[in-house]
Chain A
Amino acid sequence: MAQMNMVQAINSALDVMLGRDPRVVVFGEDVGYFGGVFRCTDGLQRKYGEHRVLDTPIAEGGIVAAAIGMGVNGLRPVAEIQFADYIYPAFDQIVSELARLRYRTAGDYSAPVTIRTPCGGGIRGGQTHSQSPEGVFTHVCGIKVVMPSNPYDAKGLLISSIEDEDPVVFFEPKRIYNGPFDGDPHKPAVPWSTHPKGEVPEGHYAIPIGKAEIVRPGKDVTILTYGTMVHVAEAAVQLAGVDAEIVDVRTMVPLDVDTLCTSVCKTGRCVIAHEATRFSGFGAELSATVQEECFWHLEAPIQRVTGWDTPYPHAFEWDYFPGPARIAAALRGVMEAR
């Protein structure tokens, strides 16, 4: 086992797959010679050559379209969109083309494309470098949506995404690239070497897409969350002093309804936390699913803790961010409800 942060784990996943499978190609803005603005592809072009690891023009629509064409021609493209905030020029190619190619050709054509993209705030990125648009993509039929919360999962899930026959949008919460973040920006940064999930095997391993993970067992209340918010939820549990079960959703599509709802049926209470905005956010789908599957076990109304329904404001980042205090308040709220 090696110690890796999330950037190194992602780099290791790409390295493993480039080495194992000659069909894998990696490309995006600044990913080649420079190794990516977040360093996720550092050293890969030197190792695998510029036919396998390519810089691209600044054209997200072109990047995804090219990935589709390459996928149709038998490659396994891994495209990087530099920030999730920049993904919208590629929206038509993702939604109308990539997601539906297998369907519209009755299985005759498909493109196993992985789109990696850093998401989330807490890095002074303002409204164009902080978004969490995962919910938008969960509404599209035909793509899988994944967001890891730690280096170990990031590597295993990225390898699964590249090996998957279906297109995957792989969100990387950039606030936790270098260490787990509990939601308090005033505390000193904590490296991944302090966290058990910073232990990452060097070689190939896969974490199945479509499986959630219980990261903290508990009996009083279930917190459904993912990405950076998994660590914020852990801090909130300490703050609230409740015995909460934290479920890291990990894959939004397909959703592991069994793991999520078994937990809620056991605890009878549910708080949903994500960084993305609330209205029509993925939490709404989680809430509806829990209501449908667990209604007769619920002791209290489900609560959602999310980013406010505003763009991500540069100057008020920590008033916007759904930190531990807000989650803790929700936990107390559902515990008090009768």
Chain B
Amino acid sequence: MTQSRLHVPHPPARPGEKPDFSYLEIPPAGREPRPDTLAPALEIERLGTGMVRVLDEQGHAVGAWNPHLEPEDLQVALRHMLLTRHFDERMQRMQRQGRISFYMKSTGEEAVAVAQAMALEPGDMLFPSYRTQGLFIVRGKSLVDLMCQCLSNTRDMCRGRQMPIMYHWAEGNIFSISGNLATQFPQAVGWAMAAAIKGEDRIAATWIGEGSSAEADFHHAMTFAAVYQAPVILNVVNNQWAISSFQGFAGGERRTFAQRGPGYGIPGVRVDGNDFLAVYAVTRWAAERARASGGPTLIEHVTYRAAAHSTSDDPSRYRPKEEWQAWPLGDPITRLKNHLIALGEWSEERHAALEKELEAHVTACWKEAVTYGTLTEGPTLDPVSMFEDVFHDMPPHLKRQREELRRLLAAQHAAAAAQVPDGEG
């Protein structure tokens, strides 16, 4: 008698076990050919199973995908990635000190957001997810603004309505981050459809994790993007972990995430997500394709979530502590740094000086940000502002509720004032 059994995926290593990334086949840098940007999706299926890599083990840029960037651009990229990392470190510490309620670091994945933002045009619309703070940094949003959002203070762009890291930036063409994962994926496709309807040359780009690619929104985005050939770049950041669930739980055991593209008639490109040059080159390829009415591209960025999921998470409970050290694609910052050194355009001394400069910059930004208040001290937002922006014009029932809260707050202030003993008021 036969009996069916479920396959319940297991990651290759749990805490106390030796990290094992043998499931990842990593081709040498420079191996993948770079097809014409308008090549039919089904003729370039191989891009979904291989891995576009430009930086080799010696830090040299090799192969057809080498974007041949100027050293100055690479130095800017290194600065953006390092700034992202220092910003993350600082905010993590501030959360541990109780100054902000929550934080999510992008450690180990900085190349994805930084390279893609640099590869796209300023007018292109970005629909971000968690761990894409590098987009804001490349486009020039001030760290003070990002910090004020995390602090929910008087300068918070969200006016105290969102958890930390749920940034947005309308002037910078960056959409709002949603806590409901994957919702932005099909929204980006709608935005791109509108750009085409209006006859613009702007394109959209959006990001989700490999974990949330299991949501129906992924399928909706892929279907709409394919059907209408929308000018959009759909990025799956495969950082191996979705909180405690390894990528096998999103269906990564048998097919790569990039391979899903051809199933929809969309090119799927798998890229070494820790290789700045490779991510940059693949993004330029996809952007050119989209702008030339070649339609969407699905890009899988193979990377590793080096930090915890969030400040509320403890990864030592579900994965080996040493996994990050064992990660075969290394650290994106170290790899770009070594490349610049190999080019003779960078040095350990300059690197140390840059780190020091950026650390001081982050400290100065934090000092400024807290002057606009924190959750517990300093100037605070007026709670009655919570009734604004629910609708464009406030309807009567919200006006009534606002008055009710206003009266309650006034009574609280009066009661607090009455409790101050004489002579101390």
Residues of A in contact with B (beta carbons under 8 Å apart): 25, 51-52, 56-57, 59, 61-62, 65-75, 77, 89, 92-93, 96-97, 101-110, 141-142, 144, 164-166, 210, 253-255, 257
Please list 27 pairs of residues, one from A and one from B, whose beta carbons are closer than 8 Å in the complex, sorted by A's number.
A25-B197, A57-B224, A59-B219, A61-B220, A65-B189, A65-B217, A66-B187, A66-B190, A66-B193, A69-B190, A69-B192, A72-B190, A74-B194, A75-B198, A92-B180, A93-B186, A93-B217, A102-B390, A103-B161, A104-B162, A104-B176, A105-B168, A106-B158, A108-B168, A109-B175, A109-B176, A253-B395
> What residue of chain B has the Cβ atom nearest to residue A66's Cβ?
B190
A51, A69, A142: the one within 8 Å of B187 (CB): A69
Residues A105 and B158 in contact, CB atoms below 8 Å apart: yes
Known contacts A65-B183, A67-B190, A69-B194: A89-B157 contact under CB 8 Å: no
Chain B hits for A142, CB < 8 A = 390-391
Residues B224 and A62 in contact, CB atoms below 8 Å apart: yes
Residues B161 and A104 in contact, CB atoms below 8 Å apart: yes
Residues B217 and A61 in contact, CB atoms below 8 Å apart: yes
Chain A proximity of B192: nearest CB distance (Å): 7
State A165–B389 Cα separation when bound (angstroms). Answer: 11
Chain A hits for B277, CB < 8 A = none
State A89–B183 Cα separation when bound (angstroms). Answer: 12
Is B159's beta carbon under 8 Å from chain A? yes
Residues A69 and B189 in contact, CB atoms below 8 Å apart: yes
Known contacts A104-B162, A106-B389, A108-B157: A65-B397 contact under CB 8 Å: no
The 5 closest A-B pairs by CB, nearest first: A69-B190, A62-B220, A66-B190, A65-B186, A254-B395
Chain B proximity of A97: nearest CB distance (Å): 5
Chain A hits for B195, CB < 8 A = 73
- Tally B residues with Cβ within 8 Å of A: 46
Which of B217, B220, B224 has the most chain A CB atoms inside 10 A of its CB? B220
List 11 additional contacts besides A73-B191, A109-B175; criterion CB under 8 Å.
A61-B220, A69-B187, A72-B175, A72-B191, A74-B198, A75-B198, A105-B168, A106-B158, A108-B176, A164-B392, A253-B395
Residues of B in contact with A (beta carbons under 8 Å apart): 125, 127, 157-159, 161-162, 166, 168, 170, 175-176, 178, 180, 183, 185-195, 197-198, 204, 216-217, 219-221, 223-224, 227, 388-393, 395-397
Chain B proximity of A310: nearest CB distance (Å): 29
Chain A proximity of B203: nearest CB distance (Å): 11
Chain A hits for B397, CB < 8 A = 254-255, 257
State A57–B190 Cα separation when bound (angstroms). Answer: 13
Residues A72 and B161 in contact, CB atoms below 8 Å apart: no
> What residue of chain A has the Cβ atom nearest to residue B206's Cβ?
A69
> What residue of chain B has the Cβ atom nearest to residue A27's Cβ?
B193
Chain A proximity of B417: nearest CB distance (Å): 31
State A166–B397 Cα separation when bound (angstroms). Answer: 16
Residues A102 and B186 in contact, CB atoms below 8 Å apart: no
Chain A proximity of B19: nearest CB distance (Å): 36
Residues B220 and A97 in contact, CB atoms below 8 Å apart: no
Which of B186, B189, B223, B393 has the most chain A CB atoms inside 10 A of its CB? B186
Residues B197 and A75 in contact, CB atoms below 8 Å apart: yes
B159, B193, B223, B227: the one within 8 Å of A69 (CB): B193
State A109–B227 Cα separation when bound (angstroms). Answer: 27
Known contacts A68-B190, A70-B190: A254-B396 contact under CB 8 Å: yes
Residues B183 and A75 in contact, CB atoms below 8 Å apart: no
Residues A62 and B161 in contact, CB atoms below 8 Å apart: no
Chain A proximity of B104: nearest CB distance (Å): 17
Residues B180 and A97 in contact, CB atoms below 8 Å apart: yes
B166, B187, B395: the one within 8 Å of A72 (CB): B187
Residues B390 and A51 in contact, CB atoms below 8 Å apart: no
Residues B189 and A66 in contact, CB atoms below 8 Å apart: yes
Chain B hits for A104, CB < 8 A = 158, 161-162, 166, 168, 176, 178
Chain B proximity of A223: nearest CB distance (Å): 22
State A257–B398 Cα separation when bound (angstroms). Answer: 13
Residues B392 and A102 in contact, CB atoms below 8 Å apart: yes
Residues A105 and B192 in contact, CB atoms below 8 Å apart: no
A51, A96, A97, A165: the one within 8 Å of B392 (CB): A165
Chain B proximity of A14: nearest CB distance (Å): 16
Chain B hits for A105, CB < 8 A = 157-158, 168, 170, 176
> What residue of chain A has the Cβ atom nearest to residue B127's Cβ?
A69
Residues A73 and B125 in contact, CB atoms below 8 Å apart: yes
